[in-house]
Amino acid sequence: MAEAVRLEREDEVAVLVIDSPPVNALGLAVRAGLADGLAAALADDGVKAIVIRAEGRTFPAGADISEFGKPPQDPWLPEVCNRIEASPKPVVAAVHGTALGGGFEVALSAHWRIALASAKVGLPEVTLGILPGAGGTQRTPRLIGAEQALDMMISGKPVPAAKALAMGLLDEVVDDDLPGAALRLARRLIAEGAAPRPTRDRRDGMRDAVAYEQAVAAARKAQGANRLPGPRRIVDCVEAALLLPFDQGLHFERTAFQELVASPEAAGLRHAFFSERRAAKMPEAASPARPVAHVAVVGGGLMGAGIAYACLSAGYNVSLMERDREGLARGLERIAKLQESAVAKGRMSAAQREADWARLSGVMDMAQLAGADLAIEAVFEDFDVKADVLRGLDAVLKPGAVLATNTSYLDVDALAAVTARPADVVGLHFFSPAHVMRLLEIVVGKATAPDAVATGLALAKKLGKVAVRSGVCDGFIGNRILTAYRQVAEFLVEDGATPAQVDRAMRAFGMPLGPFEVSDMAGLQIAWARRKRLAATRDPAKRYVAVADRLCEAGRFGQSTGKGWYRYDGRKAVEDPEVLAIIEAERAAKGITPRSFADAEISTRLMVAMANEGARILAEGIALRPSDIDVVKLFGYGFPRWEGGPMHWADGFGILQLKNAVQDYAEQAPDFWQPAPNLDAMILNGTRFADLNEG
Among 379, 453, 463, 551, binds ligand NAI (CB under 6 A): 379
Q: Which does 128 bind (CB under 5 to 8 A by kind): ligand NAI, ligand 3HC, none?
A: ligand 3HC
d(CA 353, CA 360): 11
Among 143, 150, 154, 389, binds ligand NAI (CB under 6 A): 389
- 394: Cβ–Cβ under 8 A, 6 or more apart, which residues? 403, 418, 419, 420, 421
Please, what is the minimum distance in Å from the beta carbon of residue 551 to ligand NAI?
19
d(CA 528, CA 557): 9
Among 83, 184, 187, 323, binds ligand NAI (CB under 6 A): 323
The answer to whether the CB of 404 falls within 8 A of the CB of 427 is yes
Please, what is the minimum distance in Å from the beta carbon of residue 541 to ligand NAI?
29
What is the pattern of x (binds ligand NAI, CB under 6 A) and - over residues 412-431?
------------------xx
Q: Which does 66 bind (CB under 5 to 8 A by kind): ligand 3HC, ligand NAI, none?
A: ligand 3HC
d(CA 660, CA 656): 6
d(CA 319, CA 369): 7
Is residue 220 at the binding interface for ligand NAI, with CB under 6 A as the rule? no
Query: What is the maximal distance between C-alpha atoms in the chain?
Result: 92
Please, what is the minimum distance in Å from the beta carbon of residue 15 to ligand 3HC?
23
User: Near ligand NAI by CB under 6 A, which window of 15-23, 404-412, 618-626, 629-637?
Assistant: 404-412
**97 vs 145 by CB, closer to ligand 3HC:** 97
**612 vs 627 by CB, closer to ligand 3HC:** 627
125 is catalytic: yes
Check residue 318 and report its DSSP letter.
Answer: E
Task: Output 682-687 pairs: Cβ under 8 A, ≥24 positions apart.
Answer: 682/655, 683/655, 683/656, 683/659, 687/655
Residue 482, Ramachandran bin (φ over 0: left; ψ between -120 and 50: alpha; else beta) = alpha
- 228: Cβ–Cβ under 8 A, 6 or more apart, which residues? 129, 265, 642
Residue from 85, 105, 276, 322 carrying the catalytic annotation: 105
Select from 311, 400, 391, 394 the least CA-distant residue to 357.
311
- Interface residues with ligand 3HC (CB under 6 A) are 22-23, 25, 61-66, 77, 98, 100-102, 105, 124-125, 128, 132-134, 136, 277
Residue from 10, 12, 79, 125 carrying the catalytic annotation: 125
Q: Which does 338 bind (CB under 5 to 8 A by kind): ligand NAI, ligand 3HC, none?
A: none
Is residue 470 at the binding interface for ligand NAI, with CB under 6 A as the rule? no
- 64: Cβ–Cβ under 8 A, 6 or more apart, which residues? 25, 26, 27, 28, 30
Q: Which does 299 bind (CB under 5 to 8 A by kind): ligand NAI, ligand 3HC, none?
A: ligand NAI
Is residue 274 at the binding interface for ligand NAI, with CB under 6 A as the rule? no
Query: From edge to edge, which strands make up the β-sheet containing 360-363?
Result: 360-363, 317-321, 294-298, 374-377, 402-405, 425-430, 439-443, 466-470
d(CA 390, CA 413): 12
Please, what is the minimum distance in Å from the beta carbon of residue 150 to ligand NAI?
37
105 is catalytic: yes
Q: Which amino acid is at 367?
A: A
Please, what is the minimum distance in Å from the beta carbon of residue 643 to ligand NAI?
23
Q: Which does 538 bind (CB under 5 to 8 A by kind): ligand NAI, ligand 3HC, none?
A: none
d(CA 34, CA 20): 12
- 3-state SS class at 477: coil
Is residue 378 at the binding interface for ligand NAI, with CB under 6 A as the rule? yes
What is the pattern of x (binds ligand NAI, CB under 6 A) and - over residues 327-356?
x-----------------------------
Among 293, 380, 670, 691, binds ligand NAI (CB under 6 A): 380
* Ramachandran angles phi, psi of 315, nearest 5°: 105, 5
**108 vs 375 by CB, closer to ligand 3HC:** 108
Is residue 440 at the binding interface for ligand NAI, with CB under 6 A as the rule? no
Among 87, 137, 407, 498, binds ligand NAI (CB under 6 A): 407
Nearest residue (beta carbon) to ligand NAI: 301
Q: Which does 133 bind (CB under 5 to 8 A by kind): ligand 3HC, ligand NAI, none?
A: ligand 3HC
Is residue 438 at the binding interface for ligand NAI, with CB under 6 A as the rule? no
Q: Which does 276 bind (CB under 5 to 8 A by kind): ligand 3HC, ligand NAI, none?
A: none
d(CA 201, CA 344): 44
The answer to whether the CB of 165 falls within 8 A of the CB of 173 is yes
Residues 281-320 that bind ligand NAI (CB under 6 A): 298-304
User: Near ligand NAI by CB under 6 A, which window of 76-84, 153-161, 218-226, 379-387?
Assistant: 379-387
- 376: Cβ–Cβ under 8 A, 6 or more apart, which residues? 295, 296, 297, 298, 304, 307, 404, 405, 406, 428
Distance in Å from the first CA to the final CA of the chain? 25
> How many Cα atoms within 13 Å fall on the side-chain side of residue 410?
24
In the complex, the residues that contact ligand NAI under the rule CB under 6 A are 298-304, 321-323, 327, 378-381, 385, 389, 406-408, 430-432
Residues with catalytic function: 105, 125
